[in-house]
Amino acid sequence: MKLLRPGRSYADRIELLGLVAERHPYPPGVPDQRAGILLQTKWQNRSGRAIADGEGRLATWWPTANWTLTVWQLEALQSRGEFADVALDERPLALPDDVARAILAYYDRLAEARDGAGERAAVEDELQRLMWAFHVRAIDFGIAASERYRAALGEGEARFVEAWGGAFVGLLAAVNFPTAFDTVRPLQALLPPRLVRAADFDSSTESDLSPPQRGTLQAMRALYESERATSGALAKKSAAASSTPASARAAANHLLESLAFGGRDAAAFLDARLDGKTR
């Protein structure tokens, strides 16, 4: 019996993701779309966001939100008899039935894909949509559970996570953003490698963050404020523009470009790109 302590160790969360990927591999030649969750977990760990409380428990904002994307995968599979040889030392967040169903729907389709069901581009698109379906359901619970910890992050990081969870994840899902390694790595390079400070949002002040990283902070905040003011108009427009694998890939590129080049005008930048206009 393998005992994992994901409530106290990000290394155990990463090991857990590896165990699941090993027992549920992708078909040969198809990139593993779970790489995005793995890379995000590693980024949280190395960037100082895997913050423990005074008792060594990972009961803070990022770890709580991350639990729903990592540990709940294992728990959903265990709910139907898999991974009986893996035990968790604690289960602080109960797995909701609808999230479990969404996770299992993804893994069932992955099993069918390994058996050769479907043309590759269509299979990748369908699996990605199923992944975002469980991702959005899970992270909604994670963000709600994390809310009581947000104030402890400090003003800058709190503004960042508000934008991240309040709009950006929804936009990623709307364009069915590809979460394989080669597409997530460029996005990861734009993220701050440490906790965000309030001054990082202000271009007139000095910061050790790179210009692209500071621009990403401003773009995420601009997208959040636009989505809040318009009841998610950009997410709706992005989803409508992403109905096919090819159009979804184009919309995903527009979203990534809005982070890299949009800055404080990211919402208008993305809106124009979705309309087929350049700026």
pLDDT tens profile 139-190: 999 999 999 999 999 999 999 999 999 999 999 999 999 999 999 998 999 9
Backbone angles phi and psi of 4, in degrees to 5: -110, 145
If you average pLDDT over every residue of the chain, what do you get? 95
Cα–Cα distance measured from residue 226 to residue 186, given in angstroms and rounded to the nearest whole number: 24
Q: What is the pLDDT, as a whole number, of residue 117?
A: 67
The share of the chain scoring above pLDDT 90, in percent, equals 90
- pLDDT-based confidence at 218, cuts 50/70/90? very high
pLDDT of 5 higher than 60: yes
Average pLDDT on 57-80 reads 97
Instruction: Say if residues 200 and 192 touch (Cβ distance below 8 Å).
Output: yes
pTM of the complete model: 0.94
Q: What is the pLDDT, as a whole number, of residue 203?
A: 85
Cα–Cα distance measured from residue 87 to residue 75, given in angstroms and rounded to the nearest whole number: 10
